[in-house]
Amino acid sequence: MNPTDSRRWQWVALVLVLGTLLWLLGPILTPFVIAALLGWLGDPLVDRLERAGRSRGISVVIVFVVMTVLLALALLVLLPLLWDQLQYLIDSLPRFAAWVQVAAVPWIEKRFHVDLAKYIDPSYLFALIQSHWAEAGGIAVTVWGGLSSSGLALFGILANIALVPVLTFYFLRDWDVMIDRVRWLLPRPMLPTVTRLAQESDQVLGGFIRGQLSVMVSLGSIYAVGLWAVGLDLGLLIGFVAGLVSFVPYLGAFVGVSAAVLATLVQHGDPMHLTLVLAVFAVGQTLESFVLTPWLVGDRIGLHPVAVIFAIMAGGQLFGFLGVLLALPVAAVAMVLLRYAHERYTQSGLYGAEIAATDPGVVILEPAGPSPHGVPEPLPPA
């Protein structure tokens, strides 16, 4: 076995060992992963404050306090509001059922000449949801009582929660030092390539998380405030849910419009409120396309929505909650590695790049770029 093949097998063995350790240590790694992600998100702000003339310690304290205050406000203000909205939704299910039976089903039957009444019984479905909601509350109380009676389990949960802010502070303080130590551990011949791939991975992941998270929060706030302003009782819940799922293009608007139109028809049932609700989403989509995305995301590289959904589902299936946390970083690295592998392939002898460089009779066509109408241009004739 030549040295190159030996090194490749060593890297494969190292990846397998790290994957096995990740799977075995998953239950205790969750607070470390959460803290590392928070430290990674806050490190650029710390670096910016350092460049402005503040010391590293003062910069870390400022960023840490801001992150803590924002999280506390979200927990103390948003969660109770959303819980009240969810409870209101559950209590309103009988009214939704009555509207479906009295208004929606007869209109559909008259409009499309179909017989739906005998197949649809929303009152039964909504009653089932209400009963399970009550059972879920009872189960939650029972589970919490069981956890409280088990001091060790309760201590583990509280310890993990308490570890996150402590670990986040240390990650913020020593992030650059840890990155430098990892860089010095890398084999010298691989350092330029690994550094380049790491920077591209950070750009991909940062472009998605920092940019899209900002867009999601902004859109959710716009939808929630707008729907609340036009008098929709479930406006806050629908607005924030639409904002949370807006990382998939048009999915947030589709979910939000569908839920808001249904809630408006049940609550008001008049064209004016329906027009106002549609106007809220029209304004939100316009701001997203022309203001939020260009300003908050810009031309940074993001992850494809299909890749995001697959990564989260695969991570959760393989490693549970820890896999969900690691899904996006792993997907970003995989995307960069695939792009690098494609670059190496197009420069290899297998692709024919060397032959094309020496033989003028061999023509390799470049991929066609997108046309102004979004349809790929045809390849030029050989």
CB crowding 58-83: b at 16 or more within 10 Å, else e: ebbbebbeebeeeeeeeeeeeeeeee
| Residue with the larger pLDDT of the pair 239 and 29 | 239
**Are 362 and 355 a contacting pair, CB within 8 Å?**
yes
Instruction: For residues 320 and 29, give the distance between their C-alpha atoms in angstroms, rounded to a whole number.
Output: 12
**Residues contacting 320, CB < 8 A, separation 6+:** 26
Instruction: For residues 264 and 280, give the distance between their C-alpha atoms in angstroms, rounded to a whole number.
Output: 13
Instruction: For residues 245 and 248, give the distance between their C-alpha atoms in angstroms, rounded to a whole number.
Output: 6
**Average confidence score pLDDT of the chain:** 77
Highest mean pLDDT among 90-94, 212-216, 345-349, 370-374: 212-216
DSSP result, 171-209: HHHHHHHHHHHHHHHS-GGGHHHHHHHHHHHHHHHHHHH
| Residue with the larger pLDDT of the pair 375 and 265 | 265
In the chain, % of residues over pLDDT 90: 12
Tell me: pLDDT of 344 over 90.
Answer: no
CA distances from residue 271 to 247, 265, 278 in whole angstroms, order as listed: 30, 9, 11
pLDDT of residue 332: 77
- Confidence band, pLDDT 50/70/90 cuts, at residue 63: very high
Report the pLDDT averaged over residues 271-275: 89
Tell me: pLDDT of 382 over 50.
Answer: no
- Confidence band, pLDDT 50/70/90 cuts, at residue 59: very high
**Are 122 and 101 a contacting pair, CB within 8 Å?**
yes
